[in-house]
């Protein structure tokens, strides 16, 4: 009944989404490109934050991971979140969403955003308007570092040392997703460690014990700052 937009290729075929946040350079091309989508023009859905800017430039790009058993959909009181046939968890259905924030608070990946005035949750739907007609998602197409990548499993395996995993361990909860994250080849899944990041003595949790946050002071030689006249 619904005519497809122009001629379309089959959705997804053997293509999958892979994310490797460690490659991210924080340029926000994905954010800007996300806002180009016709379903939500001008409103990016992807998340990109500094992990902790004072301690470094590491950034956290997060797209919807499209869980096999989506917590967000389960906690929705209005049946507004649906998974379609390819496993894409869609943004909230407009007529149903009441913007209660259950999904935002329950998603283990911190993905859904609320548009309170519109009474609407929006989140990454893997560019459904593009992927459903065989195009690649915008963010993964433009990403300059390939931190976000859309392609076949063979391609990614031939390119990278890391291997894709789609199982995450949040304490007692195992979460399987459609989107893959690059991890060490030996690991069975990606365990999320919390204990190491609990704040100590009021020091920001991310300011301590973190890879990828080198301090220039530990790498450089400089004259004693005491010489500075104040």
Q: Report the site for other proteins in 82-111 (rule: CB under 8 A).
A: 90-91, 93-96, 98-102, 104-111
31 counts as binding other proteins under rule CB under 8 A: yes
Residues from 48 through 87 that contact other proteins (CB under 8 A): 49, 51-62, 71, 74-79
Pick from 200, 207, 166: which is nearest to 183 by CA?
Answer: 166
Query: Shortest gap between Cβ of 225 and other proteins (angstroms)?
Result: 5
Binding of other proteins by 203 (CB under 8 A): no
Q: Report, in Å, the least distance between residue 115 CB and other proteins.
A: 8
The least CB distance from residue 210 to other proteins, in Å, is: 6
- Please report, as residue ranges, which positions from 146 to 175 form the binding site for other proteins (by CB under 8 A): 146, 159-162, 168, 170-173
- Residue 16 is a binding residue for other proteins (CB under 8 A): no
Instruction: For the CB of residue 13, give the shortest distance to other proteins in the complex, in Å.
Output: 15
Nearer to other proteins, 16 or 71 (CB): 71
- The yes or no reply on residue 191 touching other proteins (CB under 8 A) is yes
Q: Which is nearer to other proteins, 159 or 176 (CB)?
A: 159
Burial of 201 (0-12, 13-18, 19+ CB in 10 A): exposed
Name the minimum Å distance from CB 141 to other proteins: 4
Q: Quick one: which of 25, 68, 134, 155 contacts other proteins (CB under 8 A)?
A: 25
SS (H, E, C) the chain: CCCCCCCCCCCCCCEEEEECHHHCCCCCHHHHHHCCCHHHCCCCCCEEEECCHHHCCCEEEECCCCECCCHHHHHCCCCCCCECCCCCECCCCCCCCCCCCHHHHHCCCCCCEEEHHHCEEECCCCCHHHHCCCCCCHHHHHCCCCCEEEEEHHHHHHHCCCEEEEEEEECCEEEEEEEEEEECCCCCCEEECCHHHCCECCECHHHCCCCCCCCHHHCCCCCCHHHCCC
208 binds other proteins (CB under 8 A): no
Among 15, 87, 115, 134, binds other proteins (CB under 8 A): 115
């Amino acid at each position: 009944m619904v005519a497809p937009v122009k001629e379309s290729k089959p959705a997804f075929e053997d293509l999958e989404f892979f994310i490797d946040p460690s490659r991210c350079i924080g340029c926000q091309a994905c954010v800007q490109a996300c806002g180009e989508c016709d379903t939500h023009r001008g409103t990016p859905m992807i998340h990109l934050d500094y992990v902790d800017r004072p301690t470094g430039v590491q950034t956290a790009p997060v797209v919807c991971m499209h869980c096999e058993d989506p917590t967000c959909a389960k906690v929705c009181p209005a049946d507004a979140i649906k998974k379609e046939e390819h496993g894409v968890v869609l943004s909230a259905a407009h007529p149903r969403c009441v913007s209660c924030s259950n999904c935002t608070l329950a998603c283990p990946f911190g993905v859904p955003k609320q548009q309170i005035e519109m009474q609407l949750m929006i989140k990454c739907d893997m560019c459904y308007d593009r992927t459903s007609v065989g195009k690649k998602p915008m963010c993964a197409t433009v990403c300059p570092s390939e931190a976000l990548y859309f392609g076949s499993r063979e391609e990614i395996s031939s390119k990278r040392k890391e291997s894709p995993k789609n199982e995450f361990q949040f304490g007692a909860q195992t979460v399987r997703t459609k989107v893959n994250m690059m991890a060490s080849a030996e690991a069975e899944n990606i365990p999320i460690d919390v204990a190491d990041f609990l704040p100590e003595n009021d020091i920001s949790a991310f300011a301590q014990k973190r890879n990828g946050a080198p301090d220039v002071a530990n790498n450089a030689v400089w004259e004693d700052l005491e010489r500075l006249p104040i």
